[in-house]
Amino acid sequence: MNRVPDRNFDALVTPTRIHRSLYTDPALFELEMERIWGQSWIFIGHESQVPNPGDFFTTHVNHNIPVVMIRDKDGSVNVLHNRCGHKGAKVVEARSGTVRGALRCGYHGWSYRFDGSLLKIPNEKGYENTGFDPQSACYSMQRLAQVDSYRGFVFATLSSDAPPLQSWMGGAKDCFDNLCDRAPEGEVEVAGGVLRYEHECNWKFILENLNDTMHPMVVHESVVKAAEQYIATLPDDAVNERREAEIIPPFGASYEKFEDSGITGFDYGHHYDGGKTSIHADYSVDPEYHAAMIASYGEERTREIYAFNTHNVCFYPSLTIKCAVQNIRVIRPISVGRFIVETWSFRLKGAPDSMLQRTLLYSRLINSSMGMVGPDDLEVYRRTQEGLASPSNDWVEFHRQYGKDQQLPDRVVGGGTSDLDMRTQYRAWKAYMEGSIFSAKRSERASMGETQ
Amino acid sequence: MNQRQAVEDFLYHEASLLDRPDLDTWVSLFTEDGRYWMPAAEDQADPINHISHVYDDRVMMEIRRRNFVHPRASSKDWPVRCSHLIGNIRIHIDPSADSSAPDSGSATGDVLTVTSNQHVVVWYRDEQRVYAYRGTHRLLCMGNQFAIREKRVDLINPDAPQRSLIIYL
């Protein structure tokens, strides 16, 4: 997809600055939907959401293109455009459920197999000798250009040029492995429902904030102080109260602590903070869970799994995961100034219920629209969205530790308070918007002698 | 005063504390083992194996009320005021209530379940919003004095995308 850029993206993105219109210009948002969300692999859902043939889950691949993830009779998981081949109506309306027999459009009754192929048109003889070809793909519910999954996480892309899913993930793939390896049975499943949280600001703010380690001690100072004040009132024997309250203070960890955790960036905009340690490293391990892990993996491998301790991992642009907490947040853009965050929690197969309960407690306290962390984050995003209307300065900067990023063969590493996560994202943003991201990487791979 | 009047007065009093809001006094209405629960799904049966918008015990209420007035809590820089309108109050005899059960806390007394419909207009961030919910109060009663063992808030749209909400409804 070698599009000629119709804008000068060099004038909008430099290695250390981006233009404020990236957050405020509706036309740029439409281009992002076409060139970033319309090309990148987008997270659709998890296979455990559709365990049996006919089970489905509907979502959007960008701000408005409706898709349905459905389990086929042969056990495979398909991601189809949710559009009838006839007049274009969405075929599946519910958020999730089970289809019996075949997908059927509620308008004129066209029906489709679970792989999207056209099964039957009512009163079909009206099409005889009209030139209509029922075998033509355009009269089916079409599959997205590429669909693949990794350890149960289903992605799809509208681009046939995107590299295979696993090479797109690059080294960040380790985080899916770590999340799943934290299950004694090596698999996770979606559990405990979803939180949907509306954000009245541009979708990129949350991705920038994930590994912005300079904000927690400022934005979350109040809840940390409130928790500390409360803990100070507790008598010595209030063990349970203290343990529960102590989930909060890590959000006010020091600059030094965050510096030590490090930040790593990858091709295509992916990045994480942590690795060796993170703000989640000091949470205590449930003894029953620990015993199950030892039984599955042995002592040494179990310690290795715990030791890979990332905080937030971003698979640009649609997904962020917390391996150590076993939840994910999915970004669903709506307009230049609005998006929805879905928080999904995961059960570690073979782990005691207490682990899922811990995950849900975390999601509730931190990611809920009524949490004590998320609303303060959203407040500063909204202030940024509103402040960027000011023409006093056209630029948003990210110079911190520029020049110190260490380039390794497949990744860039730097200090935990570096802005290298910003530089990583906006390098990818620019390459996607220029239409060059996959062709550039393809010629690079070819020159390194890799086969396609 | 008969029991119905006493229960209604208590619900109005509780709502008036949230309307102002005065969380310090509001939290003191709960028993030591009291809970505030806003499920994230229709007819949600389980508060700990399924996600909720909020499921606070006294520990979290104590942290929340301190955070609410903290000068560095940016989402609380905006004033929040509410207006609760309460109707359809019904008092149920709770067959599962057993005040001698070990989890009933230090206080003893009968437990009443009270359901109501509540419409709340919330003023926040220069905007008015409307919430509607079915409230279920489990009240520990000592004569005509009450303490809240659980307040459950079932929004009519629990699974919809929600906006930041910095106050209990």
The per-residue pLDDT for range A153-169, each reduced to its tens digit, is: 999 999 999 999 999 99
B93 shares contact with chain A (CB less than 8 Å): no
* More confident: A365 or A277: A365
Question: Which one of A189, A215, A370, A373 makes the best mutation probe of the B interface by having the most chain B beta carbons within 10 Å?
Answer: A370
Query: In this model, does residue A446 exceed pLDDT 70?
Result: no
The DSSP code for A171 is G
Question: What would the pLDDT profile of B14-29 be if each residue is shown by its tens digit?
Answer: 999 999 999 999 999 9
Residue A249 has a pLDDT of 87
Distance of CA A65 to the CA centre of its chain: 17
Q: Say if B165 falls within a structural domain.
A: no
Residue A243 has a pLDDT of 85
ipTM: 0.92
What strands, in cross-sheet order, belong to the sheet with A103-104? A103-104, A111-112, A118-120
Q: Say if B167 falls within a structural domain.
A: no
What strands, in cross-sheet order, belong to the sheet with B128-142? B52-56, B30-39, B145-155, B128-142, B110-124, B80-93
CA A92 – CA A103 distance, rounded (Å): 8
Residue A354 has a pLDDT of 94
Q: Which helix (H) or strand (E) holds A80?
A: strand A77-81
Residue A440 has a pLDDT of 65
The DSSP code for A161 is S
Q: What residue ranges do the domains of chain A occupy? A: 43-150, 172-446
Q: Say if B84 falls within a structural domain.
A: yes
* More confident: A248 or B108: A248
The DSSP code for A335 is E
3-state DSSP assignment of residue B113: strand
CA dist list (Å): B26 to A165, B19, B44: 52, 10, 25
Tell me the pLDDT band of A345, cut-offs 50, 70 and 90: very high
> What CATH number labels A43-150?
2.102.10.10
Looking at residues A344-357, what average pLDDT do you find?
Answer: 97
CA B51 – CA B61 distance, rounded (Å): 18
Query: In this model, does residue B110 exceed pLDDT 80?
Result: yes
Which chain A residues contact residue B159 at CB under 8 A?
193-194, 196
Q: Say if B160 falls within a structural domain.
A: no
Tell me the pLDDT band of B30, cut-offs 50, 70 and 90: very high
Residue A368 has a pLDDT of 97
CA A36 – CA A256 distance, rounded (Å): 35
CA B134 – CA B116 distance, rounded (Å): 6
B166 shares contact with chain A (CB less than 8 Å): yes
Distance of CA A314 to the CA centre of its chain: 6
Looking at residues B86-104, what average pLDDT do you find?
Answer: 68
Question: What would the pLDDT profile of B117-135 be if each residue is shown by its tens digit?
Answer: 999 999 999 999 999 999 9
Looking at residues A415-419, what average pLDDT do you find?
Answer: 94
CA A194 – CA A359 distance, rounded (Å): 12
Question: What would the pLDDT profile of A80-130 be if each residue is shown by its tens digit?
Answer: 999 999 999 999 999 999 999 999 999 999 999 999 999 999 999 999 999
Q: Inter-chain contact B63–A248, Cβ cutoff 8 Å?
A: yes
Question: What would the pLDDT profile of A20-57 be if each residue is shown by its tens digit?
Answer: 999 999 999 999 999 999 999 999 999 999 999 999 99
Determine how many CB atoms are found less than 10 A away from the CB of residue A16: 16
CA dist list (Å): A81 to A92, A97, A347: 10, 17, 29
Query: In this model, does residue A277 exceed pLDDT 60?
Result: no
Query: In this model, does residue A1 exceed pLDDT 50?
Result: no
Which chain A residues contact residue B57 at CB under 8 A?
244
CA-based nearest residue to A143, from A76, A89, A63, A98:
A76
Query: In this model, does residue B143 exceed pLDDT 90?
Result: no
- Number of domains into which chain B is organized: 1
Contact A430, A423 (CB under 8 A): no
Give chain B's radius of gyration (CA, Å).
Answer: 16
Residue B103 has a pLDDT of 46
Looking at residues A251-263, what average pLDDT do you find?
Answer: 83
Question: What would the pLDDT profile of A204-235 be if each residue is shown by its tens digit?
Answer: 999 999 999 999 999 999 999 999 999 999 99
Q: Inter-chain contact B62–A353, Cβ cutoff 8 Å?
A: no
Residue A260 has a pLDDT of 83
B72 shares contact with chain A (CB less than 8 Å): yes
3-state DSSP assignment of residue A73: coil
Restricting to A residues 210-249, those with a Cβ less than 8 Å away from any Cβ of B are 218-219, 221-223, 225-227, 229-230, 241, 244-245, 248
Amino acid letter for position A412: V
Query: In this model, does residue A378 exceed pLDDT 60?
Result: yes
Distance of CA A308 to the CA centre of its chain: 19
Specify which of A281-285, A446-450, B69-73 reaches the highest per-range mean pLDDT. B69-73
Looking at residues B89-113, what average pLDDT do you find?
Answer: 65
Q: What is chain A's mean pLDDT, rounded?
A: 93
Tell me the pLDDT band of B108, cut-offs 50, 70 and 90: low
**Would you state the CATH architecture of domain A172-446?**
Alpha-Beta Complex (3.90)
- Give, in degrees to the nearest 5, the angle at Cα A418 between A270 and A439: 30
CA A297 – CA A186 distance, rounded (Å): 10
Contact A340, A196 (CB under 8 A): yes
CA A155 – CA B55 distance, rounded (Å): 33
Residue A310 has a pLDDT of 87
CA A116 – CA A136 distance, rounded (Å): 12
Of A198, A219, A229, the CB nearest to B66: A229
Q: Say if B161 falls within a structural domain.
A: no
B62 shares contact with chain A (CB less than 8 Å): yes
The DSSP code for B42 is T
Tell me the pLDDT band of B95, cut-offs 50, 70 and 90: low
Residue B100 has a pLDDT of 47
Contact A249, A224 (CB under 8 A): yes
Q: Which token pair is A338?
A: 């609005």
Closest residue in A to B62 (Cα–Cα): A230
What is the residue range of B29's domain?
A: 3-155
Contact A431, A437 (CB under 8 A): yes
Looking at residues B140-152, what average pLDDT do you find?
Answer: 94
Size of chain A, expressed as the number of residues it contains: 452
Q: What percent of chain B has pLDDT over 90?
A: 85
* More confident: A91 or A261: A91
Tell me the pLDDT band of A443, cut-offs 50, 70 and 90: low
Question: Which one of B74, B120, B129 makes the best mutation probe of the A interface by having the most chain A beta carbons within 10 Å?
Answer: B74
Restricting to B residues 16-55, those with a Cβ less than 8 Å away from any Cβ of A are 38, 40-41, 44, 48-55
Q: Which token pair is B124?
A: 């926040």
Looking at residues A269-282, what average pLDDT do you find?
Answer: 74
Tell me the pLDDT band of A451, cut-offs 50, 70 and 90: very low
Provide the CATH number for the domain around residue B127.
3.10.450.50
Residue A253 has a pLDDT of 80
